[in-house]
Each structure stands twice: as C-alpha cells, then as structure tokens.
Structure 1
C-alpha cells in the first residue's frame, strides 16, 4: 500500500553503504524544490522507537533472534502508525532510513530465520504499508567494513557481526530487489556520492 497524497521513499543497504548520506542529500534537494519533507529512520523514528533502538543495537547481552525480529516489528508498527502515515496524509514526502526490507535481510537472512515469516510479521504490524520507492545501495561488505573502520566509532550489535553474516544480508537485499523491480532502484554504492544522488533525484522527480 502506498499513500494517495504523500510520497514515501526508503533507503536500504548494508551498514556503511551510505544510506544516511543519500537520504540527507535527497531530503535537502526536495526541500529546495519547496516540498515538505519528513526525514526519519528505523529503528528509532519515534520516542518509543528510540527506546527499542537502544535495546536492539546497543544491548550488551544476547537477544534471541525471534525476540529481535519482534522488537523491530514493534518499532515499525508504532512508527508507521504515529509518524509515517500522518505525514503522508498531510501530503509530505517521507524519506526513511531502513524499513521492513532490513528486517528480511538482517533477521531473516542474517539471523537465519524464515524470511517470509519475518516479512509477513512486518506487513501485519504496518497493515501492509509499502513505500513507493526503495533505493538499495549495494556495496561489497569488505568495502563497507573499511568505511566503518574509518569512521572510528564503536560498532553496534549488527555492525559487529562477522563477514558471513553481512554476505547473507547483502544477498538477501539483492534477492528482494530482484523480486520487486518496480519498487526498487538498485545502485552501486561504490560510486561517488553526488553521482548516486543525481540518479536518485532523477528517479524521484519522475514520481513527483
């Protein structure tokens, strides 16, 4: 389901692929075009979501994979109901860093849960809400790790996972994009940031 008035765009990809940079560049460009933009993220796009984000990304102990998936779904249910839908109803453009595709990739493939069940859980939690466009920034996990190392910041629970985990996540993202080519725009995230931003702007302009 997509909103009739607003426009909902999500950014997906592995850690270090440049989602935050590209979503910020798109938000700034849309603002220059006179559009009202809500720039948000999952997890953590609401007050409740920030509490869940602290658990799933920064809890020092283990979290059972199914419990982790349920926590992400709980954040998503609240975020869509209280943040995303109201913005779309106002006619805003919602730019979002991560959505349900991340759960399918990270909890489904990364944690080796049933990907279909993980996706169905998120669709139930959000009453079937899907964005009009999902930009997938695809990047070799080794290159992504070098970028994260260069940031000199502590890794969160998912960033700290082994290379095999991130390879499964990347493969899952690409499989999702192949299954829904009308929704996904897949880009080589090794390209310069401004080149990527220009391609994204071109696709978004066609939707506005």
Structure 2
C-alpha cells in the first residue's frame, strides 16, 4: 500500500512521519522532492538556489524528481507499505496555474499509473500557518506568502476529490491544529483500516 501525507508547508507532515516510524517499522519511508541523488540536486535548484525558474521549468523539474524517485524508491518497493511525505498530489496542487488534467497526465506518465492508495491531508488555518512560518528560514516557495498557501489548500481538496472519483483514492482530512499525538492516532488508524 502506498500512503501519502500531504498539506502545505509547515503543517506537521515531517513530525507525523517521525511518529509513524515508531509504529510502522517495516514500512518504506520517503519524501519528495529530494529522496534520490538526482532529487537532492533538483531540490536545491527548486527551493534554495537564486535561479529564476519559469513555471514550466519548475513543473518539469518536480516531475523529473518524481520520475527518478519512482524508479529508485517506489517501484522496487511497490509490494511494501510505503509512506511518503508528499507525492503527485502536491504536484497537482502546487501546479495550480496549469490544467489539472494535463498535470495528472504528466504524473501518470512518470509514475506509470502507480498512484497513492490513501492520502492523509493536514489542513491548517491562517493563524496556524503564520505561527509555523514565524522565525523560520523560508525557502523560495514558502516566500510566496499566506494568500498563496490558503489558495493551495483549496486546490489540494479539488485534487483529492478528483483522485477519489477517478482512481478511488481514500483520503482523510485532519485539522493540523490538533495535538500531534491525536493526529498520529488518527493517521495510524486510517492506515491500518
């Protein structure tokens, strides 16, 4: 089973992944972008470099990372429990200036049709987003501002509904403002269900 943890930056995905590692010791844990040698370089270009990257190039660089990640991490472990911090769901949400069906086709091409079976979406309100970003060294995407991230959350929900309708994706939306142990227990129950 392939499970994705999703949400905008700062909602606690990484924290939940660390908690899940305690309970799912046999699972393959991974993240996007940057989980391969190529991915590390692409992540640096996408999030940390001073290069100005046009929207088309940004989309294709994220897809290049996903293609390599699929070949090196997902495909060899496709019969295991895979828990990932981000997936094509993020790509469909963050590529909000593109037609969703077009981005889905590109992702289907690089993933050879292997999509997450379940998704946990951590949702944050404006106050929590501002709180999590305060005092943090923001990457290039995080610097786009609160309005951008609130818009992204709506796009995420559209993506989840599309994938549920087309591919029977099961998803769970959790308030990221809950206590981390409470969130963890909901996620654990959802994965085990």
The TM-score with structure 2 as length reference comes to 0.92
The residue aligned with 2:56 is 66
- Equivalent pairs counted in the alignment come to 189
Deviation at 1:177, TM superposition (A): 2.4
Alignment partners' CA distance in 2, 1:77 and 1:144: 30
Unaligned runs of 5+ in 1: 1-6
Query: Following TM superposition, by how much is the alpha carbon of 1:163 offset from its aligned partner in structure 2, in angstroms?
Result: 2.3
Deviations 1:154-208 (A, max 9, x none): 10111111222112211101122233174211111111110011111111112xx
> 1:49 and 1:141, CA in 2 relative to 1: closer, same or farther beyond 3 A?
farther
Task: Tell me if the contact between 1:11 and 1:134 (Cα under 8 Å) persists in the aligned partners.
Answer: yes
Determine the structure 1 residue equivalent to 2:132.
Answer: 147
- Per the alignment, residue 3 of structure 1 pairs with none
**Structure 2 regions of 5+ residues with no counterpart?**
none
Please give the residue correspondences for 1:21-100 in structure 2 after superposition, counting only pairs within 5 Å. Answer: 21-31=15-25, 36-89=26-79, 92-100=80-88
Deviates more, 1:140-149 or 1:41-50: 140-149
Task: Measure the CA separation in 2 of the matches of 1:70 and 1:98.
Answer: 16
Pick closer, same or farther for the CA change 1:148–1:162 going to 2, 3 Å. Answer: closer
Cα distance in 2 for partners of 1:68, 1:20 equals: 23
For residues 172 and 78 of structure 1, do their structure 2 counterparts lie closer, same or farther at Cα, with a shift above 3 Å needed? same
Rounded to whole Å, the distance in 1 between the matches of 2:132 and 2:177 is 11
Matches within 5 A, 1:117-128: 117-128=102-113
Q: Say if 2:5 and 2:84, in contact at 8 Å, map to a contact too.
A: yes
- Measured in 2, the distance between the counterparts of 1:167 and 1:183 equals 23
TM-score normalised per structure 1? 0.85
Q: Deviations over 1:97-142 (max 9, x none)?
A: 00111111112x2xx2222212221111111111111110011244
